[in-house]
Amino acid sequence: MATQDKLSWRGQDLYDNDGGKVGKIEEIYLDADTDQPEWALVHTGMFGTKQTFIPIREAHEGSSGPQVPYDKALIKDAPKMDADGRLSQQEESDLYRHYGLDYSEARSDSGLPEGGATGRTGGEYRGDETGRPVVGDDTSGPETDNAMTRSEEELRVGTRERETGRVRLRKHIVTENVTQTVPVQREEVRVEREAITDANVDAATSGADLTEEEHEVTLRSEEAVVQKNVVPKERVRVDKDVITEQQQVSEELRKEQIEVDGDNVTDVDRDRTDRR
């Protein structure tokens, strides 16, 4: 049977020698040397929660789907392995022995590589954090898992405070001319003359007939007097207000893109599938 035909069994149900359903094929493992399909990792159990390795060297396409020459009870009792663990040489040997296959440390008839080597079958079991087995090999560096991590830069915008200026209150003295009009009074002499009459004749003749005499009158006047007083007029202080405005920032961000090269490739978004 062609290799490509067996590889197409991924995701199909596997059946035992009596046509009974064993479980769903999660992955097909190839021999590291011959690149021939050697093992199928099958989800078994009532809810498909167990993972079991089943030889598919003698498997064929049955009436219902892929079929192996093993009884379901035999498969059920096969040695189980931890999806996150390591398949040791002893576990390999037990697995071969369980299915009645010959095994040697140098090279097994089933196509597993030399004991302890790492490859697509035998040696270290490579799986991701979900227990999904690794498909293919890393060619650009050390072997990791069955996925590439795509990363990208994200823009995080914050604020920081910086000094934009200073304001001071400073007081100094200026001089200005102020003109005001003030009313002032002054005394002036007014000379009045009156004729001698019967009414004033006695006062007029009370003194000597001819004398030299002086009479003095003091004159007074007001003048403007300037006095300066310091009077508080107002209080001046400096306070701060916070003004919020919108400011746009622009930056170039880098991100990784993963391209898939090859034939017969189906791009599946598992997150989107799970949401359905």
pLDDT tens sequence across 122-158: 434 445 555 555 566 655 555 566 678 889 999 988 8
The pLDDT score that the predictor gives to residue 119 is 37
Of residues 85 and 191, the one with the higher pLDDT is 191
SS (HEC) of 9-44: CCCCEEECCCCCEEEEEEEEEECCCCCCEEEEEEEE
Taking the model in full, what pTM does it have?
A: 0.39
227-240 confidence digits (pLDDT tens): 999 999 999 999 99
Confidence of residue 67 (pLDDT cuts 50, 70, 90): very high
Percent of the chain with pLDDT over 70: 75
The pLDDT score that the predictor gives to residue 235 is 94
Confidence of residue 111 (pLDDT cuts 50, 70, 90): very low
User: Is residue 67 within 8 Å of 59, Cβ to Cβ?
Assistant: yes
Of residues 1 and 82, the one with the higher pLDDT is 1
The pLDDT score that the predictor gives to residue 270 is 62
The pLDDT score that the predictor gives to residue 222 is 95
The pLDDT score that the predictor gives to residue 179 is 93
The stretch 180-201 carries a mean pLDDT of 93
Q: Is 128 exposed, middle or buried (0-12, 13-18, 19+ CB in 10 A)?
A: middle
Of residues 21 and 138, the one with the higher pLDDT is 21
Question: What's the mean pLDDT when you consider all of the chain?
Answer: 80
The pLDDT score that the predictor gives to residue 2 is 74
The pLDDT score that the predictor gives to residue 219 is 95
Q: List b or e across 173-187, with b for residues whose CB sees 16 or more CB atoms inside 10 angstroms.
A: eeeeeeeeeeeeeee
Ordered strands of the 60-61 beta sheet: 50-55, 37-44, 21-30, 13-15, 66-67, 60-61
22-65 confidence digits (pLDDT tens): 999 988 888 766 778 888 888 887 666 788 888 898 899 998 99
In the predicted model, is pLDDT for residue 172 greater than 70?
Answer: yes
The pLDDT score that the predictor gives to residue 47 is 64
